[in-house]
Amino acid sequence: MAKPTPQVNSSGVVSYYDKHADELAQRYDALSFEAIHAALMPYFPTPPATVLDVGSGSGRDAIHLAKKGFHVLAVEPSKRLLEIAQSKCGSNEVSWLSDRLPSLDSVRGDRKFDFILCSAVLMHLPSRNQILALKRLSELCANGAVLYLTFRSSGVKELSEMYEVDKTHLINKAASYGLRLKEVVETSDWCGRTSIAWWALIFVREN
């Protein structure tokens, strides 16, 4: 019998985000979508394309994209963050789900998205599950879709479930899943923490 895919956004990670949700939501919402995701601007499809926002947090990005005319499905495992996001934007603008990587069981396997945003999620997964998550996201990409991944690289850990992401390994595996790397971007921390750097990987799905 095949072993079930482990759910590795562990209860510790979700509990941390639940506990600090109000503080984190204020921090996230103080930053604009354009500032955080400047590297993405040349890669956006034309509305009303379909968007999947995995780890949607306070809903900042999902709500911004919905207001631009995109059809957005936002997925977030933290109950409190999901409540905060939904309080700012009804289901008529964004569809909300409580779920997590690597399996995203609540997202139907036959669904395909034109754009997938997975920001600040992979570093909460051990390396094996980062690859499982990448494979799952590739399966949800329509032909020609853009997959955008961000993660931090730092020894600073607010909680124990914080892992390094091997960019080279991730990029190599992505190629085997039909994802062509378009750009790698390094940025400083948007909250001014000098010990933390961020990376963004932008892929295009090619069948």
Give residue-wise pLDDT tens across range 131-175: 999 999 999 999 999 999 999 876 656 666 788 899 999 999 999
Task: Tell me what pLDDT residue 181 has.
Answer: 98
Task: Tell me what pLDDT residue 158 has.
Answer: 63
Mean local confidence (pLDDT), 118-129: 93
Q: How confident is the model at residue 7 (pLDDT cuts 50, 70, 90)?
A: very low
Domain span at residue 40 reads 11-205
Cα–Cα distance measured from residue 30 to residue 64, given in angstroms and rounded to the nearest whole number = 13
Q: Is residue 180 part of a domain?
A: yes
Q: How confident is the model at residue 43 (pLDDT cuts 50, 70, 90)?
A: very high
Q: Is residue 5 part of a domain?
A: no
Q: Is residue 153 part of a domain?
A: yes
What Å distances lie between residue 187 and 65, 144, 151, 159, 204, CA to CA? 22, 26, 10, 22, 21
Q: Is residue 53 part of a domain?
A: yes
Q: What is the mean pLDDT of the chain?
A: 88
CATH number of the CATH domain containing 105: 3.40.50.150
Q: How confident is the model at residue 4 (pLDDT cuts 50, 70, 90)?
A: very low
% of the chain exceeding 70 in pLDDT: 86
Q: Considering its fold, how many domains does the chain have in total?
A: 1
114 burial type by CB count under 10 A (0-12 exposed, 13-18 middle, 19+ buried): buried
Q: Which residues have CB under 8 Å from 45's CB, separation 6+?
A: 114, 115, 146
Mean local confidence (pLDDT), 91-105: 90
Q: Is residue 1 part of a domain?
A: no
- Please check whether residue 85 is in contact with residue 61, taking contact to mean a CB–CB distance below 8 angstroms: no
% of the chain exceeding 90 in pLDDT: 69
Residue 4 DSSP label: P
Q: Is residue 49 part of a domain?
A: yes
Mean local confidence (pLDDT), 87-105: 88
For residue 177, give the H/E element and its range. none
Cα–Cα distance measured from residue 205 to residue 145, given in angstroms and rounded to the nearest whole number = 5
Is the preceding omega at residue 6 within 30 degrees of 0, hence cis? no
